[in-house]
Chains A and B, each alone.
Chain A
């Protein structure tokens, strides 16, 4: 079954969508698509069939999101913890993933038509090589599309992602590209796998569980969390509308909290810059305390240098990530 579903909403759906769109809409929605196996048990079908139905539901949900002008969707497809499942199930999921990515590549033209950019987030080197190569093909071939974005978290946990970001920053320090004092919340966010996306506005988890299960813990600190009891393969347009309504009801208070946090972040950055400048002036000064104007100039100069350093470091990081994919592709060609 296809990744892209064509088709308009019916009249009632269209009217409801238009009513919702009159209010603030989330631009990025994350889904924890939980409940495939329980659905399979309920309908007395094979687990693998439950996962298939789950995938079909994902394709349908993407269609609804398109009609609701939700530009970016992130889904939790496979956790690193899921490797603990029986070898049978893990292999089945890998095979399903390979089939789906192969299908994706077949639909390249359609993806281009709709401008869909696919990104895969996770510790991809944990996956079988042939799956890695398929993923590389899918990601590279849709890289330039920019109408809507689908981020698939595969072999992912948030803790691994945060640790990887810390490792990347430490690599930057090791290479002399950045200083330890450059490490900040903003820089860490830029080193996550999801650095090309804004933080999710809304996180939806289905099947009634009320936990995050190591998904986007950093990125969803100020997102609206909606826990719904429906099983993922049974998710409906109305469930989605309900979640969006919850988002709209929370919008003002969450926005306030976000603004407060950002203000505080800016303050922390300013203080850190000041401390660095003070230290620098102490070491390189001529013993006399610097006047306010000199301090201000030094501060601005320091901030500019810091931003340049960070920009160059992030460029180097992006190049490293791009070359991971191009290496995989060239190996695939040779093989």
Chain B
């Protein structure tokens, strides 16, 4: 009997995998179909709710700005920048701080760089990039170069007015490309999660040991202050999770108490429209804050 159930279980998993493969194949094919047909097709395939990545076809953004643009590159870039900015302004709400959580093996630097540049272009002030192996952090100079390259590509040379201040763990590694206080890209790894809470705890314990304070004085705001590298950077309001793993994988446990989590199937070949779709979904999230 147990053998039979075992086989049935394997069959169930197999069916789910087929279902998922079919959905991602269809997603690619049917991007341009009308909204209602798409929704009906999806419902027929009995999909679970986590279909975050599907772009809303009815509000499809014009994918080809080159159509009416002057062949001169400068105009195309200017056109793109103003489109992105206006897209950002048209959203109901925009996160000040967005997290990009890559839950996939073998990250693609180009795609993450694209995402970072689009986020900044749309008006998001802080972008945090994370993977639970710490790969991005180990190679953060490579990521920086890629971001700068994409920025120049997508926004033109004078797009470097939109400056990138690149912070990595340990502020002795500040790398400025052009001096400004505008958007910041931060690279995070699991050390920035539980480990930094432990370090803050050790700091407080040390001060208690040195009789600088009593253990009773330790409060939520005290711990929060220690865990906040800069007063101006808020907790991430939105984390976009890429990949099939349904977990935060150690991403900043303290900071994600009110963070909205929206998933996309993969960061490879992710498009601007995918990101915009996520931001639209974020716009419709309503927080009641306990009330």
Contacts and interface: CB of A to CB of B under 8 A. Distances in A.
A contact face: mostly helix, strand, loop, or mixed: helix
A198 interface: no
B22 interface: no
A167 B190 contact: no
Interface string B208-227: 11000011101110111000
A246 to B, nearest CB: 6
A229 B51 CA distance: 12
Contact of A224 (B222, B246, B253, B262): B246
Interface residues of A, number: 66
Interface stretch (B3-11, B63-71, B111-119): B3-11
Nearest to B9: A22
A85 B246 contact: no
B125 to A, nearest CB: 20
B18 interface: no
A248 interface: yes
Contacts of A228: 49
Given A159-B254, A160-B220, A227-B261, A209 B285 contact: yes
- Residue among A168, A210, A264 with the highest chain B CB neighbour number at 10 A: A210
Interface string A67-92: 00000000000011111110000000
Contact of B247 (A22, A158, A167, A224): A224
A183 B205 contact: yes
A21 B121 CA distance: 48
A249 interface: yes
B246 A158 contact: no
B190 A264 contact: yes
Interface in A50-109: 79-85
Interface in A155-189: 157-160, 162-163, 165-171, 173-174, 180-181, 183-185, 188
Nearest to B104: A253
A170 B247 CA distance: 31
B16 interface: yes
Contacts of A83: 290
Contacts of B262: 210
Interface of A: 18-23, 79-85, 157-160, 162-163, 165-171, 173-174, 180-181, 183-185, 188, 208-214, 217-218, 220-229, 242, 245-246, 248-250, 253-254, 257, 260-261, 264, 268
Interface of B: 2, 5-6, 8-10, 12-13, 16, 48-50, 103, 132-133, 190, 193-195, 197-198, 200-202, 204-206, 208-209, 214-216, 218-220, 222-224, 244-251, 253-254, 256-262, 285, 287, 289-291
Given A21-B5, A22-B2, A249-B13, 5 more contacts: A20-B9, A166-B200, A188-B197, A211-B258, A242-B48
